[in-house]
Chains A and B, each alone.
Chain A
Amino acid sequence: MRTTTFKDCNILRLLVFVILPLCAIVYGASHPSGYYAGLINLAGIYIILVASLNLVNGFSGMFSMGHAAFMAIGAYISAFFTLTPAQKMASTPGLPEWLINANLPFVVALIIGGACAVVVALIIGYPVLRFKGHYLSIVTLGLIVIVRAVLDNEGEYTNGARGITGLPPKSNTVVIFIIMAIVLYFLFRLIRSQYGRGLIAMRDDDVAAQTLGINLASKKLSAFCISAFITGMAGGLFGHMQSVISGKFYYFDLSFRVVQTSIIGGMFSLSGAVPGGIIMAYLPEVLAPLETGVKLFGHQLPEMYGASNLIMAIILILIIIFRRQGLMGEHEFIVESMFSKDTYTSLFKKEEYLNIGRAFRDLFTGKWRKSKKALPEDIDNTPPVV
Chain B
Amino acid sequence: MSVLLEASELNMHFKGLKAVNNFNAQIEKGSICGLIGTNGAGKTTVINMLSGVLVPTSGKIIFDGKNITGVRPDKIAKMGITRTYQNLRLFKKMTVLENVIIGAQMHDKLDPLGIVGNTIPHKRREAELKDKSMEMLKVMGIEKYADHISGSLPYGSQRKLEIARVLAADPKLLLLDEPAAGMNPQESAELTEIIRGIRDRYGLTILLIEHDMKVVMGLCEYIYCMAFGEIISEGLPEAVRNDPKVIEAYLGRGAVHAEN
Contacts and interface: CB of A to CB of B under 8 A. Distances in A.
Interface stretch (A33-41, A108-116, A172-180, A199-207): A199-207
A373 B51 CA distance: 37
A331 B145 CA distance: 20
Contacts of B214: none
B50 to A, nearest CB: 11
B82 A212 contact: yes
A336 to B, nearest CB: 13
A212 B148 contact: no
Nearest to B103: A212
Given A205-B90, A210-B74, A211-B51, A376 B102 contact: no
Contact of B182 (A190, A193, A198, A384): A384
A216 interface: yes
Given A215-B72, A215-B74, A386 B93 contact: no
Interface size range on A against B:
20 to 34
A213 B92 contact: no
Interface stretch (B106-114, B202-210, B237-245): B106-114
Nearest to A204: B91
A189 B51 CA distance: 32
A384 B91 contact: no
B154 interface: yes
Contact of A211 (B77, B91, B101): B77
A381 interface: yes
A189 B114 CA distance: 10
Contact of B91 (A205, A216, A381, A382): A205
A363 interface: no
A375 B147 CA distance: 10
Nearest to B116: A189
Interface of A: 186, 189-190, 193-195, 197-198, 200-201, 204-205, 207-216, 330, 373, 375-377, 379-384, 386
Interface of B: 51-53, 72-74, 76-78, 82-83, 85, 89-94, 98, 101-103, 105-108, 110-111, 114-116, 118, 122, 126, 129, 144-145, 148, 152-155, 165-166, 169, 181-182
9 contacts: A190-B116, A193-B114, A197-B102, A205-B91, A213-B106, A376-B144, A376-B145, A383-B155, A386-B181
